[in-house]
Chains A and B, each alone.
Chain A
């Protein structure tokens, strides 16, 4: 790799969405040589065939241990690779592990060149987690709403409440019991199921 060329980056990730987000970010930042590997069978052989300068892998991937082999000197390993660890930069290791991503570099690649790649991976991984959390929250909000609607229906039927009155009762009970309104609604559903 010459100094002005974009380093070749391999992304090892079984999540196609996260890999796409990362790939897009890297391309936008000018790293054009990016390859995504999603198949873990024969991983090392594929990596050697691609001969990358940087390898990025997510921490949920058991194959991280396969990459550790690349630090070893043996016949199976043709080009020694090191994990991106900078003893002086504990914060960056912390940030990367917390974000759930890890980067490996070919020996000799300058720290200044890997740092922006790693920073970008960290921010994209964090963005992906946030997206996932939001999706989870939206899903559970939707679930809650369904449960609340059913609980309201039960209260309306059994107590002759209007929808408004049923909701007020759910909400005031939730406040009194210091619980979420969805939890109160769920307990009404459970109780009515048991009393059937």
Chain B
């Protein structure tokens, strides 16, 4: 067994299981000599994994699927035998946009349908006044952030490609761009929403889990051909990550200290602890909102679910990133390797949402008939 591995990651809290597995000695205990490489862009992580400079990576779940399908880039089949994170994103808006939304809100401010309708009213008013369209940022074209933001807006009748500007921004630029007025809101993972709130520049409008109850966010990604040739290394790595996921559940404070180190995530222990606890300050006035489903990085998040992959693929189709095809759907679902996970760790992990997704709007997700499912949504680029 070749034990020396290079694994890429982006400094985000949902890399927790991977970072703790290495820094707490779980990978070493499995006989693996892992070097974690901190990266600055998802493009870099993807490319370095694709060409073999990385053996594995902390990767956006939709990128693993897009790579396997060859959408937007080179086709490199990827397998994801372990889910590093479920949920964990949030939509943050500038204090000005927040005030405008609250003025136009009819209903509960934590109800995404109510806020989406408020957004539609704000957008309509701006158009009538001849004002510039609102700009929203997300982290990557193939990201849960992109699909969550789009799903939310579209439910209120806002077309994300026509009625607002939707732009890609690196997470580290989000807070400054909100402060400078270049963007009015964004959807990003932890810790960036909390940083915006702590600096008094943003208001957390929604947790990602308000929009989708259970969304695959980041996966442990490996090249399929490499994983096939190194199945014992894959098993060792998955076991180490599972041990780390258990450790994070049992010793959150200790895990937060490990993750906060400058060479890992490099933010305060307090912000990481709040994130792991799902207890976020959402406003400048210190309002705290807690949700046990805000971010899942423990064992309940770990088992890959092909239904999740199917949903992500359906969103690529909905927003015109790729045409609908039965073959592609099969390939997408095959990226999330529940079989590898269960062969190594046994069956485990309950999915709380009935359809595996738990979206706040639209009919329950139906992976066997994506065309029929997408027809239920008015806004989108896909036409039957």
Q: Chain A interface (Cβ within 8 Å of chain B)?
A: 40-42, 44, 59-69, 71-76, 83, 85, 87, 90, 93-94, 97-98, 102
The answer on a CB contact under 8 Å between A65 and B74 is no
Q: Which residues of A contact B72 (CB under 8 A)?
A: 68, 71-72
- Known: A63-B170, A64-B40, A65-B42; 4 extra A-B contacts, CB below 8 A, are A42-B182, A68-B72, A69-B168, A74-B166
Q: Which residues of B contact A60 (CB under 8 A)?
A: 40
Given A75-B161, A97-B47, A97-B51, A87-B74 contact (CB < 8 Å): yes
Please report the C-alpha to C-alpha distance between residue A106 and residue B48 in the assembled complex, in whole angstroms: 23
Given A42-B182, A69-B141, A76-B51 contact (CB < 8 Å): no
The answer on a CB contact under 8 Å between B141 and A71 is yes
The answer on a CB contact under 8 Å between B74 and A66 is no
The answer on a CB contact under 8 Å between A72 and B44 is no
Residue in chain B with minimal CB distance to A86: B74
The answer on a CB contact under 8 Å between B166 and A76 is yes
Q: How far is the CB of B377 from chain A (nearest CB, A)?
A: 17
| B225 within 8 Å of A (CB atoms) | no
Q: Which residues of A contact B139 (CB under 8 A)?
A: 65
B53-80 Cβ-contact flags toward A at 8 Å (1 or 0): 1000000000000000000111100000
Please report the C-alpha to C-alpha distance between residue A67 and residue B141 in the assembled complex, in whole angstroms: 10
- Top 8 A-B pairs, shortest CB-CB distance: A62-B170, A69-B168, A64-B41, A64-B43, A62-B40, A65-B41, A74-B161, A71-B72
Q: How far is the CB of B183 from chain A (nearest CB, A)?
A: 11
Q: How far is the CB of A96 from chain B (nearest CB, A)?
A: 9
Q: Which residues of B contact A69 (CB under 8 A)?
A: 141, 167-168
Q: How far is the CB of A47 from chain B (nearest CB, A)?
A: 12
Q: Which residues of B contact A102 (CB under 8 A)?
A: 43, 47
| B2 within 8 Å of A (CB atoms) | no
Please report the C-alpha to C-alpha distance between residue A40 and residue B40 in the assembled complex, in whole angstroms: 14
The answer on a CB contact under 8 Å between B170 and A83 is no
Given A76-B167, A97-B47, A61-B141 contact (CB < 8 Å): no
Residue in chain B with minimal CB distance to A91: B51
Please report the C-alpha to C-alpha distance between residue A16 and residue B330 in the assembled complex, in whole angstroms: 47
The answer on a CB contact under 8 Å between B43 and A44 is no
Please report the C-alpha to C-alpha distance between residue A97 and residue B51 in the assembled complex, in whole angstroms: 9
The answer on a CB contact under 8 Å between A85 and B42 is no
The answer on a CB contact under 8 Å between B168 and A68 is yes
The answer on a CB contact under 8 Å between A90 and B51 is yes
The answer on a CB contact under 8 Å between B182 and A62 is no
Q: Which of B48, B73, B320 contacts A73 (CB 8 A)?
A: B320
Please report the C-alpha to C-alpha distance between residue A59 and residue B180 in the assembled complex, in whole angstroms: 25
Q: Which of A41, A63, A93 contacts B180 (CB 8 A)?
A: A41
Please report the C-alpha to C-alpha distance between residue A87 and residue B170 in the assembled complex, in whole angstroms: 27
Please report the C-alpha to C-alpha distance between residue A93 and residue B75 in the assembled complex, in whole angstroms: 13
The answer on a CB contact under 8 Å between B170 and A66 is yes
Cβ contacts A to B, 7 pairs, < 8 Å = A40-B173, A66-B167, A68-B42, A71-B72, A74-B166, A75-B165, A97-B51
